[in-house]
Structures are given as C-alpha cells and as structure tokens.
Amino acid sequence: MIWLIGHLLAVCIGLSLGLIGGGGSILAVPILVYVMGLGSKGAIAMSLVIVGTVSLMGAIPHWRQGNVNLKIAVIFTPAAMLGAYIGARMAGLPFVTGSFQLICFGVVMVIASTLMIRQSHSKSALAHAGMSIDNAMDKDQGHHWLLIPVEGIGVGVLTGFVGVGGGFMIIPALVLLGGIPMKEAIGTSLLIIAANSATGFLGYLNQVSVDWALVSSFTLAAGIGTVAGSYLTQFINARQLQKGFGYFVLAVAIFVLIKR
C-alpha cells in the first residue's frame, strides 16, 4: 500500500513539472523521506535523478509547442550546472547532517511558496497575457541579461545542496530578466532543471547509495504525470495553478520543519 501511495504521489510530481515548470523536487524529497522511508541525503540524491529525467521528458512536448528558448537556456544553464555541483559537494561536508539539510529544505520551501503566491499576482501575469516584460526594461536590458547567469549559480547551489530544482526561481528570472512569455519560461525551465539535476547528482556520487529500482519506478510514474501536465498547459491557466500550489507547498514546508 505504501508503495502504491508513493507512486501515485510520484505522478503528482510529474504533473507539477509539466504544468508549472517546477515543484518536482519540492514534492519528491518529502515523498521519498516520509512516505518511502529513505534517509534525507539519499532522498535528495535520488530526487535529482527522478526530477532531472522527468524534466527532460517534459521538455519534449513543450519543445514541440515552441515553448523552449534555447538562447536563454544556453546563457542560464552552464552557471546553474556549476552551482549544482558545488552545492552537492557542500552537502558532503562533515557538519552537514541529514537533519540540517531537511531544515534548509523546509526553509527553501517556505521561501518558494511565498514567491509562488506573490508571483501569481505580480508582473508574471503580464507574460500570461502575451506581453513582453523587456519592453519596460529597454534601458537596462544588458544589465538584466548579465543577471541571468548570476542567478543561475544561486539556483544551482540550491539544487545541489537541498535537491530543489529551482523552477520557482528559474521561471521568474526567465520572465523578468529574459523577457519571455510564461509558457516559454516553463518549457525552458524544464530543460535547465534537467541539466542542473544531472550535475547535482554527480556531486553526490560516493556520498550515498541509490535504490535504482525505486528510482526507475518513480521516474516512470512521474514521467506519465509530466507528459500529461505538459499537454494540459494548452488548456489550463498555469498562473492560477501556481497560486494554489504555493499554498500547498507552504503546508508541506511546515510539516517538514516540524517532522525533521
């Protein structure tokens, strides 16, 4: 029964990634720890494999819909991958215990939920309406483009250290700094998350043991959800979903901080 519940929840991981371009690791780590009974470090490492693979799968239908911006992905991804590897190696430091990582994870979830809720009312709404933010930023466009790889490093460190793919930070960066529509930011973020997760997992090699059977079955279940979510983006307002998901993430964050 626990196995079945865990894998049904894994489908929700995929739906989150496919619909709003993030939230996969925010769901994956608590599910692996509190439902499947894994240790925090192992859960974080495995979540990177699951979310990275599923994000890559989810990027395919977005690519076919024309919602992946390769130019911005190339600017953002290398810095994010470097940050992810650094964050994963930091997790191996002697003072970084599993409990400490879970506390950091819970704090990041609180921040993520707050950003998700605020973004649903913010300038990102303009992107949903098909309006380009960069029209309002012409004077400082060069400056804003330079900030994209800087944020990439920060997102990468979070990815490697607490296993969060960073979609909640990547998407507003792509919309507000890159000036691209929300749906394009969602598709592009999936490609970036896949690259981040792969590099972050490399940083965990020799730190943890991985249950590859569980990783494979979770990835399959989440992959089904991602393909469905990516398809449903054509009919569903992702901004409203993000607001509701933000409140859900806040509730999960409080649970993690209490149960740590």
pLDDT of res. 140: 47
For residue 162, the Cα-to-chain-centroid distance in whole angstroms is 11
Enter the tokens of residue 164: 């969060």
C-beta of residue 13 within 8 angstroms of C-beta of residue 30: no
As a residue count, the chain comes to 260
pLDDT of res. 41: 87
For CA atoms 36, 104, 122, 194, the dihedral sign is negative
Alpha-carbon gap, residue 188 to 133, rounded angstroms: 17
Rounded to an integer, the average pLDDT of 170-198 is 83
- Residue 243 CB neighbours (<10 A): 16
| 34-87: pLDDT as tens digits | 999 998 888 989 999 998 898 888 888 888 888 899 988 888 899 999 999 999
- The winner for highest mean pLDDT among 136-140, 193-197, 236-240 is 193-197
